[in-house]
Amino acid sequence: MENKLLEFQNVTYSYEEDGPAALQGVSFTVEKGQFVVILGHNGSGKSTIAKLSNSIYLPTEGKVFVNGMDTADEQNEMNCRKTIGVVFQNPDNQIVASIVEEDVAFGPENLCIPQKELRVRVDEALHSVGMYDYRHHETHKLSGGQKQRVAIAGILAMKPQCIVLDEPTAMLDPKGRREVMQAVRKLNQEEGITVLFITHFMEEAVHADRVMVVDDGKILLDGTPAEIFRQSTLLQKVGLDVPEVARLAAALREKGADLGDVLTEDDFVQAFAAGMEG
């Protein structure tokens, strides 16, 4: 029971009264410490889930609970927002100050954190995302990946238990994408922060504990990356694809060479080499 960090109970959300439902009867639970990836094509309802998870939106029907707190209960609003921080797609819209450390301090300053503690939090957050050496740099001169890591540090400095990232890598080049993904995985593994990572890049889902596929406002699949990527036909039907290595492994399986569950290049090389020896 205490393990549930975020729970959606039969949630429906419509942007307009009597309008179409952007989400329909969505139920899922995220447990403390999990790294969950949400996949789905454009318009499937991913951002709506992100905004419902920290009470930016409230469900039209159903309930959202954060650490057991009902987000629709006004008394819980501040606590819910402190528990779950959200990082959005465009780093430029999230940077508010001209110097890196000032930007990271902005959120906790608004929470009226005392100066001494503020300093500690900002430094820790910058270390966590590998941006400490840039603390005196100008934010507008950073690369996209660096800006996004500064945005994540700004959320971290508010000490959330969970971070929801809504396509944080969509506007980044491959290097920036890797930097952000590495920083987020480290937060999960080393600091135990629960992560809900929304993306349409399949490769970013392979390291998750769990993957949920959203289509047309509903949860279509929910399982481990290996379970999800076995469903390549279904994924293609909803405009998604499986990672290239997984596709290659599936093609080999059809020819009778089963390499087992292969999701990354490393998996593939190891399984293939083992097969050659055997």
Ligand X SMILES: Nc1ncnc2c1ncn2[C@@H]1O[C@H](COP(=O)(O)OP(=O)(O)O)[C@@H](O)[C@H]1O
Taking the least distance from each CB to ligand X, the nearer of 43 and 192 is 43
Q: How far is the CB of 219 from ligand X (least distance, A)?
A: 12
Q: Which does 239 bind (CB under 5 to 8 A by kind): ligand X, Mg ion, none?
A: none
- Residue 102 C-beta: closest distance to ligand X, Å: 30
To the nearest whole angstrom, how small is the minimum distance from the Cβ of residue 41 to ligand X? 7
Closest CA to 180 of 153, 212, 209: 153
Which residue number, 167 or 179, has a Cβ lying nearer to ligand X?
167
* Nearest CB to ligand X, comparing residues 83 and 89: 89
* Nearer residue to ligand X within complex by CB, 44 or 128: 44
| Angstrom distance (rounded) from CA 145 to CA 163 | 17
Q: Which residue is listed with tokens 């500064």?
A: 150
Q: Tell whether residue 188 is a contact of Mg ion (CB under 5 A).
A: no
What is the rounded distance in angstroms from the CA atom of residue 190 to the CA atom of residue 212?
23
Is 264 within 8 Å of 206 (Cβ atoms)?
A: yes
Q: Contact at 8 Å (CB) between 238 and 215? A: yes
Min separation Cβ 22 and ligand X, Å = 3
Q: Which is nearer to Mg ion, 47 or 54 (CB)?
A: 47
Can you tell me which residue has the tokens 């596929």?
A: 213
Selection from ligand X, Mg ion, none that 43 binds (CB < 5 to 8 A by kind) is ligand X
71 touches, from ligand X, Mg ion, none (C-beta below 5 to 8 Å by class): none
Residues sharing a CB contact under 8 Å with residue 254, sequence separation 6 or more, in sequence order? none
Q: How far is the CB of 154 from ligand X (least distance, A)?
A: 22
Report 37-56 residues binding Mg ion (CB under 5 A): 46-47
CB neighbour burial string for 211-237, b if at least 16 within 10 angstroms, e if fewer: bbbbbebebbbbeebeebbbbbeebee
13 versus 268: smaller Cβ distance to ligand X: 13
- The number of residues that bind Mg ion (CB under 5 A) is 2
Q: In what order do the strands lie in the sheet with 162-166?
A: 84-87, 162-166, 194-199, 35-39, 210-215, 218-223
Q: How far is the CB of 45 from ligand X (least distance, A)?
A: 4
Nearest-angstrom CA–CA distance, 263 and 116: 45
Residues at the site binding ligand X, with contacts judged by CB under 6 A: 15, 22, 40, 42-48
| Residue 44 site contact among Mg ion, ligand X, none (CB < 5 to 8 Å, cut-off depends on kind) | ligand X
- For Mg ion, the binding residues in 143-182 under the rule CB under 5 A are none
Nearest to 231 by CA among 39, 49, 30: 39
Binding residues for Mg ion (CB under 5 A)? 46-47
